[in-house]
Amino acid sequence: MKVFGVIAISSLLLFETCSAGLWGSAKTDPIQAEENLPFAPTSKFDYKLSFKKNFYHNGSVPFWTVGGDVLKSSDFIRLSPSIPNTKGFIWSEIPNPYEAWEVEVAFKVTGNNMHGGRGLAFWYTKDREETGPVFGAKDKWDGLSVWLDSANPVTHKPSTMVLLNDGTMAFAAGTDPTKHMLGSCSISYRNTESPSYLKVSYKDTTLSISMDNGSGAKDYRICVQKSGIKLPTGYYFGVSASSHTPADDHDIYSFETKQLNPPQKLEHPKRPLEDEKKKRGEEFTGIDEEQKKKIEEAEYQMRKLRDQTEGFEGETAVTMAAIYDTQRRAIEHIQIVQLQIEALGAPSPDDAITGNFQKPEFSKSVPSASGSNDIDLSRLTDQVRSESKKATDQFERLAQEQNRKMQEIQTIVARLEETLAVLDKRILAQSNMMQKKMNEVNLHSAETKGTMSTLLKYIFYAFIAQFLFGIAGYLYWKLRVERNDKKFV
């Protein structure tokens, strides 16, 4: 009995568990569910503190400043070419806002000589865009510097040194950097087939410098790792290079900055008018009858216009354009005539329609004035008539000219069509004639080939016969000579 009870309780618990897995729990708010996410990404890429191919926009690197003897290429940025005493730099225009960060630089240092010609340096400093004697940048800097020295005067091998400076040490004046460096390594990066990579990361007061010398950022080796380092935010990233004698090419292929351990994103930022749109969506109850009628009327008008424009071909469009142009010109002439009439004292069209004008009164008691007014009115009437007649004649003349041009165009098109048809026939006839001639030429070539073969045979036989005849003549002549010699012996 106890065993049966245990089995029943286990079955009930198993059923509840399966039910929870199959049908799920109660619905939760997506924003609330996102807030309860336990994990966050380990890094976040910052495009404003980075650059890579394609580098340029309107001739410059966005958010970065380039200076010095830099050569711009579509595949890389050459900070310092293989010319002695050249230097160049690229600095970020935006300070670093992150407390924990990681930078990955892809670069190449190449040269034809056995030993290197100086090198390049990574910078994270308080000041930016200042040239100087330290790999093309300022001495007495305030911040971090990683030197990639390909002309080490002691080992004559590429070396990497990490240094901190508070703005007081002048290494170009003779201060030995080996006594103040945080660490160094000798990982070769000069004249590699593919770009080498330098990774600088700072997290929890720990500075790590790693390098990959040609495996495509797949095999990093620790160069220097130091704890207890304090690097403030608000400093600038940069890379500089310089060439001495002999000189090397110093190329930068990419510079990528990431924020380490970014804060968890609790909710998505709302888009413009998102709350208002959500409110409208919640209050939407459907389309009423009036809106449906408006939609149906709009659809009917669209179908009507579509049906009307289906048969609207090119010739009709040209004709309609000509008619429109003629009408437009006629309206312009009528407007000019109207302005001329208004200048003579006639009311405007709006005043004439509304009756806002005074009719002229002609007094019968003053014959001289009446006569002059009649003369003026007659003159105005004749002038209006003449202008109207001129406008009408010009309109008719324009219409006739347009019709004449349209007829000429149609005639020219018809002639072109006839000419094209004749050309097609001629081309077809010439093509047939050429084909016939080619067949005759081929046949004649075959006959000529046979004739030439027979002629060559006859020539060969004649040559053989002549050769034999010559040999026979020679033998006869020799025999006769021998006989003559015997006769005289």
Q: What is the 3-state secondary structure (H, E, C) of 188-257?
A: CCECCCCCEEEEEEEECCEEEEEEECCCCCCCCEEEEEEECCCCCCCCEEEEEEEECCCCCEEEEEEEEE
* pLDDT for position 18: 43
* pLDDT for position 13: 46
Asked if residue 71 is part of any domain, the answer here is yes
- Residue 372 phi/psi, 5-degree rounding, is -65, -40
Asked if residue 450 is part of any domain, the answer here is yes
Q: State yes or no: pLDDT of 215 exceeds 90.
A: no
Write the single-letter amino acid at 148: L
Q: What radius of gyration do the chain's Cα atoms show?
A: 51
Domain boundary at 260, 284, 318, which? 260
Q: State yes or no: pLDDT of 251 exceeds 80.
A: yes
The CB-side HSE value for 61 (13 A sphere, CA atoms) comes to 30
Q: How far apart are CA 388 and CA 382, in angstroms?
A: 10
Q: What is the 3-state secondary structure (H, E, C) of 103-115?
A: EEEEEEEECCCCC
Range of the domain at 484: 377-488
Q: Are residues 400 and 255 in the same domain?
A: no
Out of 67-76, 281-290, 399-408, 425-434, which region has the weakest mean confidence (pLDDT)?
281-290
Tokens of 255: 């510079």
Residue 191 CB-density burial (10 A; 0-12 exposed, 13-18 middle, 19+ buried): middle
CA dist list (Å): 469 to 91, 455, 475, 476, 479 = 103, 21, 10, 11, 15
Write the single-letter amino acid at 382: D
* pLDDT for position 33: 52
Asked if residue 446 is part of any domain, the answer here is yes
Q: Percentage of the chain with pLDDT > 90?
A: 29
Q: Are residues 247 and 395 in the same domain?
A: no
Q: How far apart are CA 382 and CA 385, in angstroms?
A: 5
Higher pLDDT pick, 174 / 78: 78
Asked if residue 214 is part of any domain, the answer here is yes
Out of 180-189, 224-233, 373-382, 477-486, which region has the weakest mean confidence (pLDDT)?
373-382
Angle between helices 367-488 and 314-343 (to 10 degrees): 150
Domain boundary at 245, 260, 275, which? 260
Residue 418 zone, left/alpha/beta (φ > 0; ψ -120 to 50; rest): alpha
* pLDDT for position 331: 82
Tokens of 76: 């890389």
Out of 42-56, 215-229, 309-323, which region has the weakest mean confidence (pLDDT)?
309-323
Q: Are residues 131 and 256 in the same domain?
A: yes
Asked if residue 57 is part of any domain, the answer here is yes
* pLDDT for position 316: 64
Q: Are residues 99 and 226 in the same domain?
A: yes
* pLDDT for position 460: 83
Comparing CA positions, the residue from 50, 253, 80 lying closest to residue 150 is 80
- Residue 302 phi/psi, 5-degree rounding, is -65, -45
Domain boundary at 260, 277, 296, which? 260
Q: Are residues 255 and 109 in the same domain?
A: yes
Q: State yes or no: pLDDT of 141 exceeds 90.
A: yes
pLDDT digits (tens, 9 = 90+) for 355-396: 666 665 544 444 444 455 556 666 767 777 777 777 777 777
Could you tell me the CATH number of the domain that includes residue 88?
2.60.120.200
Q: Please report which confidence band the pLDDT of residue 15 belongs to, taking 50, 70 and 90 as the band edges.
A: very low
Asked if residue 392 is part of any domain, the answer here is yes
Overall domain count for the chain: 2
Asked if residue 277 is part of any domain, the answer here is no
Asked if residue 123 is part of any domain, the answer here is yes
Q: Are residues 254 and 383 in the same domain?
A: no
Q: Are residues 381 and 250 in the same domain?
A: no
